[in-house]
């Protein structure tokens, strides 16, 4: 008979494109979820099985309060265009708070710093064809990962998506790697947000990348 340890999980950015899938996946596995959002208008979009709390991941007191007694915090926050600098700021607050209370952190990161195969050591956002409009968020994600990698007290894991992360089908399967951009059998580098959430919760339940970054792609 299969069994699973029930975890108490706080999700920041719970109503976003990734965060909402993370909440749904965690609930489907029987975990207790605290869904955190800044705007109360998003409450209706959260499944009734989750506990909704209003809070700001940039506020140290909020993070300490909302993570107290939890087994895990997942951050899936994404700033709006023009506010990309908030991403590393949020990560800094989370790392500080969770280093204080000993709660593990899973970070939904970016693909920008993944090494591109056969590109002479270039990362994705260093390649010539990388879209100009995406450079601010790519740099913010690079700064976010750098912050994590300098942290030696908090227990963190950083998950980078492939080049394309879009809503789609939950297959429950994926391939994992470390610092190199992965591609599917058709040459695309993509995964659905649903399967990305599967990978994140698999890591939550069976930690394999403590204080490290990993990445996934559709199987």
Per residue in 49-86, pLDDT (tens digit) is 999 999 999 999 999 999 999 999 999 999 999 999 99
Mark the ranges of the chain whose per-residue pLDDT is less than 70: 1-4
3 is a domain residue: no
pLDDT for the residue numbered 3: 58
74 is a domain residue: yes
95: left (phi over 0), alpha (psi -120 to 50) or beta: alpha
Q: What is the pTM of this model?
A: 0.95
**Domain region containing 107:** 8-217
43 is a domain residue: yes
Distance CA 156, CA 78 (A): 18
Q: Give the torsion through C-alpha atoms of 36, 137, 72, 65, to 10 deg.
A: -50
| Helix (DSSP H) and strand (DSSP E) numbers for the chain | 5, 10
pLDDT for the residue numbered 42: 87
Here the CATH number for the domain that contains residue 135 is: 3.40.50.720
Task: Report the candidate in 89, 49, 97, 92 with the shortest Cα–Cα distance to residue 73.
Answer: 97
- Number of domains forming the structure of the chain: 1
Task: Report the candidate in 218, 215, 163 with the shortest Cα–Cα distance to residue 194.
Answer: 218
3-state DSSP call for residue 66?
A: helix
pLDDT for the residue numbered 1: 34
Distance CA 73, CA 70 (A): 7
36 is a domain residue: yes
The helix (H) or strand (E) run that includes residue 107 is strand 104-108
Task: Report the candidate in 126, 162, 120 with the shortest Cα–Cα distance to residue 142.
Answer: 126
């Amino acid at each position: 008979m299969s069994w699973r340890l029930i975890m108490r999980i706080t999700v920041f950015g719970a109503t976003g494109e990734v965060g909402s899938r993370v909440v749904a996946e965690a609930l489907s596995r029987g975990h207790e979820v605290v869904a955190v959002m800044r705007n109360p208008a998003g409450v209706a979009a959260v499944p009734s099985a989750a506990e909704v709390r209003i809070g700001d991941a940039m506020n140290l007191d909020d993070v300490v309060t909302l993570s107290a007694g939890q087994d895990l915090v997942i951050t899936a926050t994404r700033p709006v265009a023009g506010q990309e600098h908030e991403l590393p700021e949020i990560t800094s607050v989370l790392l500080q708070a969770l280093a204080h209370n000993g709660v593990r952190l899973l970070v939904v990161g970016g693909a920008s710093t993944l090494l591109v195969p056969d590109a002479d050591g270039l990362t994705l956002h260093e390649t010539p064809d990388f879209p100009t409009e995406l450079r601010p968020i790519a740099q913010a994600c690079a700064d976010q990962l750098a912050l994590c990698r300098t942290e030696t007290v908090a227990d963190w894991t950083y998950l980078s998506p492939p080049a394309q992360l879009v809503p789609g089908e939950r297959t429950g399967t994926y391939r994992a790697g470390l610092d190199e951009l992965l591609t599917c059998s058709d040459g695309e580098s993509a995964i659905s947000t649903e399967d990305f959430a599967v990978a994140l919760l698999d890591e939550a339940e069976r930690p394999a990348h403590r204080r490290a970054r990993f990445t996934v792609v559709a199987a």
